[in-house]
């Protein structure tokens, strides 16, 4: 059994859900993120949050996958002074919802002062709501971004163990492991991190506080990167207990700090009944309904 703790399923197809479930993925965490282009209205964020909590959760369930989400103002749009106050007010409304297991993804992109302000405010919001925080490391100037992220976590005073720092590389992982924060790795077809490099990192650093995810989205990405990387680890001789920790125990332990997810819940197989509908909509398009109870 596996969890993909960072994947943007609103951008993916039902074929992906079927393949993920067949490959052993039982739950996903979908962070609120950038839409590929800037949004121009606070209301666009609200509808997006509602979709993550509603239709997407239902859609996942129709394929036997439990769906959770994290909500936040992503680093890029933290620079939109005309939007941030309104979205921040929305977060105060929506962070209490049952499907929300963290504040995220938040962090730095260009490391502007606006990004730092919103990042810090959202870490405080996580602390206020008793939620962990999913932090995105910048794609550019990553080491400096990691150092500044850790410094801000300390400054805000959110406990290290409630922070998952994502998109790590060979250079940033040691910095994160020196803290008590958790370390995520996005396995991508070309950029970020790949299976072989991840295997090398686990051999060097072990499995403690380590997670992997596909970060699959609307770009060229692969929603099966968690099971594929687990297979690469097995092939490389990494102990099954370590792999189990990375793809199952660690993400559960981290997000369980929200009080809205636990191992017992996830170990229960989700019943599939594709005759069900959400606001009158079914995932079926004329097919026979899959029913597994």
Partner 1 sequence: MSNKPDISSLLEPLLHRLAPACLSENFVIEEFGRRFSSLGWSLRSVNLALSSDEHAALIAAGILNPEALDVSGIARIHLLIQALQLLPTGEHAAFIDACFRSGDNLEREALLRALMLLPLPERFISTTLDACRVAVQTTFEAIACENAYPATYFGTDAFCAMVLKALHLGVSVRRICGLAARCDSNLKRMAAAFGSELTAAGKTTTPDISYILDLEETTT
**Contact residues: partner 1, CB under 8 A:** 36-38, 40, 76, 79-81, 109-112, 139-144, 169-171, 197
CB of 137 to partner 1, least distance (A): 11
Least separation, in Å, of the C-beta of 141 and partner 1? 5
What's the 3-state SS for 169-186?
CCCCHHHHHCCCCEEEEE
133: Cα separation from own chain's centroid? 10
Contact 166, 136 (CB under 8 A): yes
Instruction: Tell the smallest beta-carbon distance from residue 276 to partner 1 (Å).
Output: 36
**Nearer Cβ to partner 1, position 57 or 142?**
142
User: Least CB distance from residue 169 to partner 1, whole Å?
Assistant: 6
Q: Which two tokens mark 283?
A: 């995932």
The residue among 31 and 132 lying less far from partner 1, judged by its C-beta, is: 31
Q: Cβ closer to partner 1: 81 or 264?
A: 81
Distance CA 149, CA 147 (A): 5
Q: Is 74 helix (H, G, I), strand (E, B) or coil?
A: coil
92 versus 144: smaller Cβ distance to partner 1: 144
28 vs 77, beta carbon nearer partner 1: 77
Backbone angles phi, psi at 133, to 5 degrees: -125, 135
Q: Rounded to the nearest whole angstrom, what is the least distance from the CB of residue 202 to partner 1 in the complex?
A: 16
Nearer of residues 16 and 109 to partner 1, judged by Cβ: 109
State the DSSP string of 33-47.
---SS----HHHHHH
User: How many whole angstroms separate alpha carbon 191 and alpha carbon 202?
Assistant: 18
Please enumerate in sequence order all residues whose Cβ is within 8 A of that of 286, keeping only pairs 6 or more positions apart, or say none.
Answer: none
CB 114, min distance to partner 1, A: 10
We find the least distance from the C-beta atom of residue 36 to partner 1, in angstroms, to be: 6
Entry field: residues in the chain: 293
Of 47 and 171, CB closest to partner 1: 171
CA distances to 18, 23, 151, 265, 285 from 120, in Å? 38, 38, 11, 32, 45
CA atoms of 137 and 153, how far apart (whole Å)? 13
- Residue (76 or 228) nearer to partner 1, CB: 76
Minimum distance of partner 1 from residue 222's CB (angstroms):
18
Kindly state the DSSP code that residue 107 receives in the 8-state scheme: E
- Residue 242 burial (C-beta neighbours within 10 Å; 0-12, 13-18, 19+): middle
């Amino acid at each position: 059994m596996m969890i993909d703790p960072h994947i943007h399923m609103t951008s993916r197809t039902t074929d992906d859900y079927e393949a993920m479930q067949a490959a052993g993925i039982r739950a996903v965490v979908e962070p609120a993120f950038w839409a590929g282009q800037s949004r121009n209205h606070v209301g666009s964020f609200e509808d997006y949050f509602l979709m993550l909590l509603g239709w997407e959760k239902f859609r996942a369930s129709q394929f036997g996958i439990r769906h959770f989400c994290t909500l936040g103002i992503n680093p890029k749009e933290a620079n939109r002074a005309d939007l941030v106050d309104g979205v921040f007010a929305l977060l105060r409304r929506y962070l209490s919802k049952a499907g929300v297991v963290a504040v995220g993804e938040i962090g730095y992109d260009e490391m502007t002062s606006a990004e730092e302000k919103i990042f810090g405010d959202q870490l405080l919001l996580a602390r206020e709501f008793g939620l962990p925080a999913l932090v995105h490391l910048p794609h550019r100037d990553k080491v400096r971004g990691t150092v500044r992220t850790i410094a801000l976590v300390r400054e805000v005073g959110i406990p290290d163990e409630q922070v998952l720092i994502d998109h790590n590389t060979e250079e940033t992982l040691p910095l994160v492991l020196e803290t008590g924060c958790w370390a995520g790795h996005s396995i991508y077809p070309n950029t970020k991190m790949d299976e072989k490099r991840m295997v090398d990192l686990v051999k060097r650093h072990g499995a403690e506080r380590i997670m992997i995810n596909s970060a699959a989205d609307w770009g060229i990405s692969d929603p099966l990167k968690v099971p594929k990387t687990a297979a690469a680890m097995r092939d490389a001789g990494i102990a099954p207990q370590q792999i189990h920790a990375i793809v199952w125990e660690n993400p559960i332990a981290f997000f369980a700090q929200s009080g809205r997810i636990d191992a017992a819940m996830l170990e229960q197989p989700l019943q599939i009944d594709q005759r069900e509908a959400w606001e009158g909509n079914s995932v079926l398009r004329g097919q026979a309904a899959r029913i597994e109870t």
